[in-house]
């Protein structure tokens, strides 16, 4: 009887060994993100969704395409974000006469050494702002393919690695077509997110005008503090990669992406790169909310900014005014959410 009682005791779960705390320490990440958002909000009125998406892209080590009409704070947002980070920042204004060497750099002959020396271009920074990316011709845009995907460039058969972190924020105007070039699908696919910036609401417009009036001679960026260092960003990117994703959620991502390929309203569906992008972005959203695990809501939140620039609507549906965002929303509603 005594042996039976001892055996029963050994089979009982030990309550003190159960730990319900987060497996990852995301406190510093959350505090850093909150501080960056506070700095951004001191200048940018509204646009909280855009700010969250930008921060998720940084934590997920992904590039961002900002699209909006002139004057909706695309460039100022990128510059402001750069001011909150203790990293190298470079800005490139794309123009129709811009050459690849103007971005990547070029080899210059050194008379003293009697040899060619590589002079690095503005792309050799941690955060690059490319203004009006659709104004440069295809040859110049193609120069970004390697550096955006592999974080390196090859010049004269020699490879140069980018310093980490390396992130590109590009802007484009969807309305003006004169003097612009359509971005090729291969380049669009290298952006983690495409973020569409809309006009502000009435209350936000009033706040923008009021804030500008009160600035007087002070610059918008004068009092912005630096919050995160390059080491912080690299550490947080490592943490985000460790966020847990259950197998049924991996299947959920795959079903969403495959549905874009089978959808009759879409001429071109998303590639496996999109599946990986949704996975990484969903981890970023989870970490931003202080969770070390992904939920279906994180995946749904990541799906539209990840997919909208990777799919092409059929000409018939486009003529009817149906956008890729509407079709993606329909897909998200049709795919069963795992329980």
Q: pLDDT (tens digit, 9 = 90+) per residue, 201-257?
A: 898 889 888 888 777 666 667 778 899 999 999 999 999 999 999 999 999 999 999
Domain extents for the chain?
23-239, 243-339
The CATH class that applies to domain 243-339 reads mainly alpha
Given CA atoms 111, 117, 122, 126 in this order, what sign does their dihedral have?
negative
Say whether 122 sits in a helix, a strand or coil: coil
8 A C-beta contact, residue 281 and residue 241: no
User: Which tens digit of pLDDT belongs to each residue from 65-74?
Assistant: 999 888 887 8
In terms of Cβ atoms closer than 10 Å to its own Cβ (0-12, 13-18, 19+), residue 211 is middle
Return the CATH architecture of domain 23-239. 3-Layer(aba) Sandwich (3.40)
What are the residues whose beta carbons fall under 8 Å from the beta carbon of 31, sequence distance 6 or more? none
Q: Look up the pTM and report it.
A: 0.85
Q: Output the CA–CA distances (angstroms, integers) from residue 4 to 14, 15, 134, in the order listed.
A: 18, 21, 77
Q: Which residue in 148, 143, 67 sits closest to 99, CA to CA?
A: 143
DSSP structural state of residue 13: -
DSSP-based three-state secondary structure for 110? strand
Among 304, 298, 273, 31, CA closest to 194: 304
Each residue's pLDDT expressed in tens, for the chain with a length of 339 residues: 445 444 444 444 444 444 445 687 788 998 999 999 988 888 888 788 889 999 999 999 999 999 988 888 788 888 889 989 999 998 999 988 888 888 998 888 777 777 778 888 899 999 999 999 888 888 888 888 888 888 998 888 888 899 889 999 999 888 766 667 788 888 889 999 999 988 888 988 898 888 887 776 666 677 788 999 999 999 999 999 999 999 999 999 999 999 999 999 999 999 999 999 999 999 999 999 999 999 999 999 999 999 999 999 999 998 998 999 999 999 999 999 987
Q: Decide the pairing of beta strands 115-120 and 105-110.
A: antiparallel
């Amino acid at each position: 009887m005594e042996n039976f009682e001892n055996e029963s005791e050994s089979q009982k779960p030990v309550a003190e060994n159960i730990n319900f705390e987060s497996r990852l320490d995301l406190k510093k990440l959350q505090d850093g993100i909150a501080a960056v958002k506070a700095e951004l909000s001191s200048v940018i009125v509204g646009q909280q969704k855009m700010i969250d998406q930008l921060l998720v892209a940084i934590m997920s080590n992904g590039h961002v395409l900002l699209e909006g009409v002139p004057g909706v704070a695309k460039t100022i947002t990128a510059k402001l974000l750069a001011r909150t980070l203790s990293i190298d920042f470079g800005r490139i204004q794309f123009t129709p006469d811009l050459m690849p060497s103007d971005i990547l750099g070029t080899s210059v002959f050194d008379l003293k050494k009697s040899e060619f020396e590589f002079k690095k271009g503005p792309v050799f920074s941690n955060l690059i702002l490319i203004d009006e990316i659709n104004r440069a011709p295809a040859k110049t845009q193609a120069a970004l393919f390697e550096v955006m995907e592999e974080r390196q460039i090859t010049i004269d058969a020699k490879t140069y690695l980018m310093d980490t972190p390396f992130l590109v924020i590009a802007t484009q105007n969807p309305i003006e077509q004169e003097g612009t070039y359509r971005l090729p699908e291969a380049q669009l696919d290298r952006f983690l997110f495409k973020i569409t910036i809309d006009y502000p609401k009435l209350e936000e417009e009033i706040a923008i005008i009021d804030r500008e009036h009160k600035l007087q001679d002070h610059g918008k960026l004068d009092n912005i503090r630096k919050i995160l260092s390059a080491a912080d960003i690299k550490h947080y990117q490592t943490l985000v990669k460790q966020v847990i994703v259950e197998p049924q959620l991996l299947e959920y991502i795959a079903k969403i992406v495959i549905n874009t390929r089978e959808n009759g309203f879409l001429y071109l569906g998303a590639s496996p790169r999109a599946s990986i992008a949704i996975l990484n972005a969903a981890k970023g959203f989870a970490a931003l909310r202080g969770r070390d695990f992904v939920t279906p809501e994180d995946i749904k939140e990541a799906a539209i900014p990840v997919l909208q620039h990777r799919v092409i609507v059929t000409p018939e549906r486009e003529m009817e005014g149906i956008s890729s965002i509407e079709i993606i929303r329909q897909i998200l509603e049709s795919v069963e959410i795992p329980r």
